[in-house]
Amino acid sequence: MLRTLYRAGGALLKTSQGTVPRLWVTPAQRRWASSLPMNTVVLFVPQQEAWVVERMGRFHRILDPGLNFLIPILDRIRYVQSLKEIVIDIPEQSAVSLDNVTLQIDGVLYLRILDPFKASYGVEDPEYAVTQLAQTTMRSELGKLTLDKVFRERESLNSNIVHSINQASDEWGIRCLRYEIKDIQVPPRVKESMQMQVEAERRKRATVLESEGTREAAINVAEGGKQAQILASEAQKAEQINKAAGEAQAILAKAEAKAKAIRLLSEALAEQNGNAAASLSVAEQYVAAFSNLAKESNTVLLPSQTGDISGMVTQAMTIYGTLAKPTVKSIKAETEQEKSEEPAAQSTSAQ
């Protein structure tokens, strides 16, 4: 019996699809809902659809997806609501921005029915109501922004429109999920002005960047010169310090060598025949000095008796003897002191 009723209900449903009017009469949005089915006692509700049933002209209940039973004649399916996300194309319209620029703008609205009861009895035509509300809200929100902010704050504009639509559509059982602006068209003259403004802004940024590059280059060159001068002065300072240290070490080395030479010379003079050796050395140096007189300078100083070699040696030895007398006296005094100290030491050891 159930199979017979199901077949009869299916046949009635097929015949009723061409005659029964759809919900929300706009032809472009007939995909929103299915055709109003006939009461065949046994009904199968598709998934994501809500069938609103009236009993004797009064709301009775909403059929859930799956198998449902109704009373013939008394129960009637009044509305069929789709619970899927619905996309509505908002037609192009004109709006005036805060700076009195006329814009042509369109968008897309995404919504969903949350309460089939409110969507059925709260408003006569939900699609038309939401579309008109989206258009008026969009014009209102655009009037609060200047042209530049419309392009920069597109996301905030969309969110404001969604918020305004939801405030009014709560009574209809409809929730607006998103609103997206598809296209914004500006007048040709305004577009040319915007293009010129963009070009001027780019030229300005290019000039600023070029000047910053020049400044950075000058700063780098100055820093390089400063560092070069600092390094050069430090190198010169280190060179002078090294040179002074080298000269000091050379002077010390010369002084030590000279002191050692004088010490050795004094020891040699104190030995036997030391005066004869000194006389021979002075004579050799005296003769060598005369051989180089004309080689180093044009001015020559000669003694009165240049041919008397023996006289020159005697004169040199006289000078040496005069300078060496105090040294010989000091050496003799030291020798006598050492001799006087030896008997005293011997007596002391004998005691």
Domain closes at, from 126, 152, 186: 186
Please report the pLDDT score of residue 11 as a whole number. Answer: 44
Please report the pLDDT score of residue 293 as a whole number. Answer: 58
Distances (CA, A) of 350 to 319, 340, 345: 48, 16, 9
Determine the Cα–Cα distance for residues 10 and 20; give it in Å rounded to an integer.
15
Q: Which stretch of DSSP H or E encloses residue 334?
A: helix 309-350
Please report the pLDDT score of residue 142 as a whole number. Answer: 85
Tens-digit pLDDT profile for residues 19-38: 333 333 344 344 444 468 88
Please report the pLDDT score of residue 28 as a whole number. Answer: 37
pLDDT average, residue stretch 318-333:
58
Tens-digit pLDDT profile for residues 207-244: 999 999 999 999 999 999 999 999 999 999 898 999 89
Q: Of 132, 159, 133, 128, which Cα lies nearest the Cα of 32?
A: 128
Domain contains 47: yes
Burial string for 45-58 (b: 16+ CB within 10 Å, else e) reads beeebbbbbbeeee
Determine the Cα–Cα distance for residues 323 and 320; give it in Å rounded to an integer.
5
Domain contains 252: no
Domain contains 118: yes
Domain contains 48: yes
Q: Which stretch of DSSP H or E encloses residue 258?
A: helix 188-270
pLDDT average, residue stretch 253-277:
75
Please report the pLDDT score of residue 3 as a whole number. Answer: 44
Helices 126-142 and 154-169, packing angle to 10 deg? 140
Domain contains 69: yes
Domain contains 15: no
Domain match, 91 and 162 both: yes
Q: Residue 90 is encoded by which pair of tokens?
A: 């908002």
Tens-digit pLDDT profile for residues 118-168: 888 888 888 888 888 888 888 888 888 888 888 787 888 888 888 888 888
Q: What is the CATH number of the domain that holds 137?
A: 3.30.479.30
pLDDT average, residue stretch 104-112:
89
Domain contains 139: yes
DSSP secondary-structure letter at 173?
A: T
Question: Given a cut of 60, is residue 82 above it in pLDDT?
Answer: yes
Question: Given a cut of 60, is residue 6 above it in pLDDT?
Answer: no
Amino acid at 330: S
Domain contains 276: no
Domain match, 133 and 163 both: yes
Question: Given a cut of 50, is residue 104 above it in pLDDT?
Answer: yes
Please report the pLDDT score of residue 10 as a whole number. Answer: 45
Please report the pLDDT score of residue 220 as a whole number. Answer: 92
Question: Given a cut of 70, is residue 115 above it in pLDDT?
Answer: yes
Domain match, 57 and 129 both: no
Question: Domain of 72?
Answer: 39-82
Neighbours of 78 (CB within 10 A): 16
> Which residues in the chain belong to E strands, given as ranges?
42-45, 49-55, 58-63, 66-69, 75-82, 86-96, 102-113, 174-185
Domain count, the chain: 2
- Please report which confidence band the pLDDT of residue 14 belongs to, taking 50, 70 and 90 as the band edges: very low
Domain match, 144 and 56 both: no
Determine the Cα–Cα distance for residues 160 and 100; give it in Å rounded to an integer.
21
Domain match, 43 and 124 both: no
Domain match, 60 and 91 both: no
Determine the Cα–Cα distance for residues 84 and 30; give it in Å rounded to an integer.
14
Tens-digit pLDDT profile for residues 260-271: 877 777 777 676
